[in-house]
Amino acid sequence: MSGQIDLLHAPQRFGSFAELEAALLNLTGDPLEAEGGRIVIYRGNPAARLMIVGEAPGAEEDRLGQPFVGKSGKLLDAILQSVGFDPAADIFVTNSAFRRPHDNRKPTTEEIEWYRPWLMEIIRVIDPVIILLTGAVALQSVLDERRGITKVRGDWFALDGRKVMPIFHPAYLLRNPSSAEGSPKRLMWGDVQEVRRVFDALD
């Protein structure tokens, strides 16, 4: 993993998710603080074995205080439900940056790197077996992978013994609604079926 971790801002190791969540909710001095958004951490089940990592909260997420609760989130839930996952029980959803960037721009590399140790601590504490990275920002944050999402989506990577798969961001699917053979939607469908197969084979 490249990129210098700023040790002054790196989180301690927390004994429970409740402690980590409390510390994150009190986060201050982070690079997106000045843009005025609130801290948005997660939705779903902290005991889930499947984690989804997105980009950053949008307007709806900032309003409601949970990730992926707007249009993209509704599509994400529908995709997961299509292979039998219950978003409230089976999945823990979080982001690479924990505040909304102004005007919904993508977080910069510096911002991604600032929040990364916090995301890594969330991953360590939640301890998922499978992590899905939706889109390029999550791919950069978790795997420091700069190849495009279209090159690596659907491939399995390993991270500290966890299985990690990059997938398309649901916002990309909303912009590319075709479900013709070879379309992003079709590829996503194949990817989540593969995730379901691997999840079902876990002991």
Cβ at position 13, least distance to ligand URA in Å: 25
Contact between 113 and ligand URA per CB under 6 A: no
Closest CB to ligand URA among residues 16, 109 = 109
DSSP tag of 94: E
Residue nearest to ligand URA (CB): 54
| Least Cβ distance, residue 58 to ligand URA (angstroms) | 5
The least distance separating ligand URA from the CB of residue 12, rounded to whole angstroms, comes to: 25
Asked if 140 touches ligand URA (CB under 6 A), the answer is: no
Of 3-11, 48-56, 118-126, 189-197, which segment contacts ligand URA by CB under 6 A?
Answer: 48-56
Indicate whether 54 belongs to the interface with ligand URA (CB under 6 A).
yes
Contact 91, 52 (CB under 8 A): yes
CA distance 53 to 49: 13
Whether 171 and 68 have beta carbons less than 8 Å apart is answered as: no
User: How many Cβ atoms from other residues are within 10 Å of residue 73's Cβ?
Assistant: 23
Residues 121 and 33: their CA atoms lie apart, in Å, by 20
For residue 130, give the 3-state DSSP assignment.
Answer: strand
Within 62-101, which residues bind ligand URA (CB under 6 A)? 67-68, 70, 72-73, 95
